[in-house]
Chain A
């Protein structure tokens, strides 16, 4: 999985002029010494000629027109021991075969570090993890970020919902910034790109009528990725500057390879999906209250379902009966197809790869679809022996429709409508969502028909994105390389939200159109020099210069009161509320990086960077930060490598990284007002009576702002035993993020809400461990098992003076994510009123019910640990890979569970339905003494409604622990003999599945791996009517010809 990475860069180094003289041909086959299987793609390199080729699918290589003579031939392939042999070539055809021995230790492993610089893994002084293409496309995801889950210690991947194209949050080594955005920097072929998650929805809120529009990093097509390297700490990121404070996702795209018979590849998947977890409902009780029937109630507190004759919600006389699958039947089976083609080739001077991928997906929600077409090109050319050029880029077009509205306080929140359907309601009865006159067949007065919402109130997005880079690499001397790289990322996203005329709570209809444009330009200039000072010491230095600009423009209009229903033209609206905003950030930085190596086992590295940012006060806009790193391969130094203990390396680093402010925060601003708030969606618009208006900022601008500063320390060791069949990689880190730039709440009675300032410190300390095992290895059967363990301890060390807490994110009704010094970020809200002595709830004497208590900490956001088991088994031509991912601890607030219970629809509300119940708790007597509760509740409806009362959150917070079978792939490599009569050189067929089996969880009714707030906010741990996550299963076919 990790560390073994083929750097195709080196293929470029193979160009050299041909040698004149008597010619000969040199051919041969490269095979695996253990299995005898041919090895395609191995490099065969002739040292004297600086010339090399790659083997074809049959493992064969061929050098035509060689001069006769004696050559040093080197065979290199990832995962195998390097072979160097002297071969004498005589006139005619010379055949020589080589068998390579698998090298589990991979002493010569090369990793790509910051700025696309390849380094020996042994000299890297920080934890670095790489996921290869094979692992990413094992069971392909439309959002490649999800494919990283469970594969890298220290990296938390949190999909936010089952929405098609929903966002996935990535947290590397814990939440460091209280301000919200803790997402790592995404780099594609050396150029930073946007992973934005800009808030959407009619209310432009992550809470009210929230729509998850996805994280833009998902636009990267998994089939074009050669590898993803994750740089976790500040030390790894120094070369990228401040934007890398939360780590770097370093994506290297595929390049053309010179493998005969592998010019064209096709990779097709088809999968079906359905909700992974749906609530467990009771099916015995109808809608109503206290046991009596009310046709219009959307709950389960009515009478027992006995076939009795009643009037239904439409006034028709029916016999009551249960429809146990009415919620399941609302959802549909989603279908995903991914068809990917690539065309690639390479020769001595150039390489070329064109990739085309088309994804089409329909979701589990009726009328939800997403499609994406991606075209990518990566080509390099050696212009002279000193100058090389490369261009890589991609265009993607992504259209989606029918994302679910989530959160609350919006008439379109689908899961809250669907989960609340009375058990007696036949979903088929709702499918026809229109009356004969075209109006909506709503669910009573206050609730929309879910099929109306799904089919009429459709949210659509269209994203067109271009990203790419051009690199010129100049080698003035063999020891020096100068690289100039310019890149851009440009996308336009159109979002359209419709609430059709006739929607309950939006009866007059509305639609909004958002046009979002983001443009990023980046330029790097790097000079790299390598010199051997003497036999023992070598020196490598890098000097670099970087300019980066990012602009975001958002233009939107909300058109309300539509005259002609269905006509989405602004002029058709009674009221238009246009708004536009923009932001621009410019940065430049200079940096240096010097590494001193001693005998290839001891390395010292120092880096330094100075950034200048446009967003900071002029007097404080320049900031310098250094890092110090060392690595020591002690097994080489002390010559310890043996059969049992094969390799050992220790590493340590200390790094700082500074970071800036958001744009435009320094001025005292007055904003033109487009509307002022009115509860229940009744905003008052401007112009109001013909008047325009301005509103002064509620945030006091910062004075003397300093850059935020992160200081990190990391210690680690890599150990390999039994010739690499057991590998252990351990890391301890301590990251302190100080001078956080935050909007600190101030009393609103000052007239302002926030003061923008440097404040507080957050620490994240943790352990990461990776265990790589190869328990079975025979000619026929091989089993690789990688176990990853992550444990992070987050602590808010301090806040501003006098400040006891800061609300990081708030939900409805006093539900909050808060930072409180001395503890980790947590979920807070009013709990049950409890007796101090016994800790038991104090029961209300009058009704036997629990009562609202003070705001208290209800749970942790972070898990205790994460553990994953990544298995790859091969038996002959059969391969099986599967990933088990376990998260233990942490909590989640679930509004879905709460609503199911308070509505009497959840299975557990069956208990004591016919009778009563005495809750565990105490009664406080008049004299202050307590007695055990002996007051029965009036009925279970009263109990569950109070237990889940909107102001009491303790009963809605659950342990988020879970373990799942996250990915499975089983495939069969078709024997070559079968393919001989076909144009195919290689073919495999497989079955694959994602998120298949949630076999351990503590929260009822939902998959805890969901969130409301999207990837760009610190709101994990809150589930509020989120669409259930999906599981998918299907087939995959890969061919090369």
Chain B
């Protein structure tokens, strides 16, 4: 018995040992993750992260900063953008979405394309154009940001912050290089994962040039010497028609819808009467401007007041009146304020980056600044046309008659640069309403319209920037100099 047992134990022990230590321990590969994926698969998540952030994180807040929208206290859960109070979540989530998710994946995608043999030039171009856009967003929100040393942790574990001028000029250079790389006849770039253009490099080139144009318009506020570059760009491929528009799509499919539509749906926020919602309302600066112009887009943008319309005699408003709310007022309790319409808060409302109208307005502004008022006017009209007919075939479409009448009601020529600029900027303020941070940036660049500081504002002036993200501040000593800058301090490009 004893021998049996000893033998049994010896066999058992040997059996266990002989399975081999190294092979036994060789189980440290995650079966639920990949260790390599083609760069093409990295693009969709980067794009979706950018669009989700722009739509719901910075989205309504930026529009509220410049009184395009207003919130009736509903956003007071975490922050109060109407009074320029920021949510630390919005700040942290945005920094991390743009640097931590979008730029990481875009940079890896770029590196893989460069390492491929042959180099996938169009993939590099797509990555660089998107990277340029992300850096543009970052500098619009924070001004000085890590740029030249960003996303290169091996060489720059604690990236230095670059001035906004460096960033903006760097973006221009980055886009220029991307356009040089891009080759519509070359080896295909990312096609299936390209939510913007399905791999159409002609459109990517238009997008890159238009973004370059936009960036130069910001630089020229301080440095008119870039005018020659603008002139050159205006003669090249740009986003001039809706088919060229740079936009992130949303879809009708559940889970793929526009975030703001989802928010309203989750809370049952859509109101049957008046096609409105209970979260987001019109800002008075936008409505007043549109009322002055008798703008037909009001019926597209806004629903009538959410409260009882039958109470028109007792506090309600007549159905053809639009009212906005002054910035900073919250929890108003009257039936006058127009809600944002379900024409806008709909499942597949796209997250637009650069529409055709924006490019035409830049051209109009540039020509007006050059004193070429005739060309300026033509571009201005072309921009307004595209801003109006963008809705053709969509909910809230403006009838052809209304479009024609509106165009006819606008100045039929410009007589002065300042008059031209005011007309152009007014149209741009109306047009850029749904795009963050473009709407906020547009106001900072043009200061049009003249905004009043919000009621009970936390700042002495209109908010200009986000506060420094705490995660970056904790890990990057170079961030320290950026902490504590007053949020109403203008940015470098402002004048």
Contacts and interface: CB of A to CB of B under 8 A. Distances in A.
A615 B1 CA distance: 41
B284 to A, nearest CB: 22
A747 B256 contact: no
Contacts of B159: 747, 749-750
A676 B42 CA distance: 13
Contacts of B41: 670, 692-694
5 contacts: A561-B254, A588-B21, A680-B56, A694-B37, A695-B101
Contacts of B35: 667-670
A508 B264 CA distance: 11
Interface of A: 289, 294, 384, 386-387, 445-446, 474, 476, 482, 484, 504-508, 523, 525, 545, 547, 560-561, 573-575, 577, 580-586, 588, 612-615, 618, 621, 663-664, 666-673, 675-686, 688-689, 691-698, 700, 745-753, 802-805, 807, 812-814, 855, 950-951
Contact of B27 (A547, A586, A673, A694): A586
Given A689-B253, A745-B471, 4 more contacts: A445-B269, A508-B254, A574-B255, A670-B35
B256 A386 contact: no
Given A588-B24, A749-B146, A693 B99 contact: no
B49 interface: yes
B193 interface: yes
Nearest to B58: A679
Given A507-B266, A525-B12, A682-B262, A691 B100 contact: no
B153 interface: yes
Given A504-B268, A675-B255, A669 B56 contact: no
Nearest to A949: B85
Nearest to A503: B266
B476 A507 contact: no
A446 B78 CA distance: 14
A339 B157 CA distance: 61
B26 A689 contact: no
Given A445-B267, A476-B2, A684-B256, A663 B472 contact: no
Nearest to B87: A813
A474 B9 contact: yes
Interface in B318-377: 331, 333
Interface of B is mostly: helix
Contacts of B149: 749
Contact of B104 (A621, A752, A802): A752
Interface stretch (B62-70, B88-96, B408-416, B421-429): B88-96
A289 B332 CA distance: 12
B32 A581 contact: yes
Question: Which among A577, A586, A681, A747 has the greatest number of chain B C-beta atoms within 10 A?
Answer: A747
A825 B487 CA distance: 32
B481 interface: no
Interface residues of B, number: 96
B192 interface: yes
Contacts of A676: 45, 48-49, 52, 101
B436 to A, nearest CB: 12
B290 interface: no
Contact of A745 (B25, B278, B474): B474
Contacts of A586: 24-25, 27
Interface string B26-67: 111111111111000111110011011001110000000000
Interface in B221-261: 249, 251, 253-256, 259-260
B254 A575 contact: yes
Question: Which among B27, B145, B149 has the greatest number of chain A C-beta atoms within 10 A?
Answer: B27
Question: Which among B1, B28, B267 has the greatest number of chain A C-beta atoms within 10 A?
Answer: B28
Contacts of A561: 254-255
Q: Which 3 A-B pairs have the closest CB atoms?
A: A574-B254, A575-B255, A685-B255
Contacts of A583: 30
A747 B254 contact: no
B309 interface: no
B117 interface: no
Given A545-B13, A614-B27, A476 B33 contact: no
Contacts of A474: 5, 9
A686 B21 contact: no
Interface of B: 1-2, 5-6, 9, 12-13, 16, 21-22, 24-37, 41-45, 48-49, 51-52, 55-57, 74, 78, 87-90, 93, 95-97, 99-101, 103-105, 107-108, 145-146, 149-153, 156-159, 192-193, 195, 249, 251, 253-256, 259-260, 262-263, 265-269, 278, 331, 333, 469-472, 474-479
Contacts of B99: 748-751
Nearest to B75: A680
B249 A745 contact: no
B28 A666 contact: yes
A505 B266 contact: yes
A661 to B, nearest CB: 9
A813 B467 CA distance: 13
B6 A476 contact: yes
A525 B15 CA distance: 13
B88 A951 contact: yes
A746 B34 contact: no
Given A484-B9, A560-B254, A664 B1 contact: no
Contacts of A695: 42, 45, 101, 105
Nearest to A477: B2
A427 B432 CA distance: 48
A783 to B, nearest CB: 52
Nearest to A661: B28
Given A669-B35, A681-B266, A684-B255, A613 B25 contact: yes
B419 to A, nearest CB: 40
A670 B153 contact: no
Contacts of A667: 28-30, 33, 35
B256 A751 contact: no
A951 B9 CA distance: 65
A746 B472 CA distance: 8
A748 B134 CA distance: 14
Contact of B52 (A387, A677, A802): A677
Given A678-B259, A693-B45, A748 B33 contact: no
A990 to B, nearest CB: 48
Contacts of A545: 13, 16
Contact of A673 (B21, B45, B57, B74): B45
A725 B219 CA distance: 87
Given A560-B255, A694-B42, A751-B104, A678 B56 contact: yes
Nearest to A750: B153
A755 to B, nearest CB: 8
Contacts of B265: 507-508
Contacts of A508: 254, 265-266
Nearest to A385: B1
A696 B105 contact: yes
Contacts of A803: 475
Contacts of A951: 88
Contacts of A750: 99, 150-153, 156-157, 159
B28 to A, nearest CB: 5
Contact of B253 (A387, A505, A575, A672): A575
A802 B21 contact: no
A618 B27 CA distance: 11
B249 A749 contact: no
Given A612-B21, A621-B25, A676-B52, A684 B259 contact: yes
A609 to B, nearest CB: 16
B25 A678 contact: no
Question: Which among B1, B12, B333, B478 has the greatest number of chain A C-beta atoms within 10 A?
Answer: B1
B44 A678 contact: no
A687 B9 CA distance: 54
Contacts of A669: 30, 33-35
B2 A677 contact: no
Given A476-B6, A670-B37, A696 B108 contact: yes
A682 B22 contact: no
Nearest to B194: A691
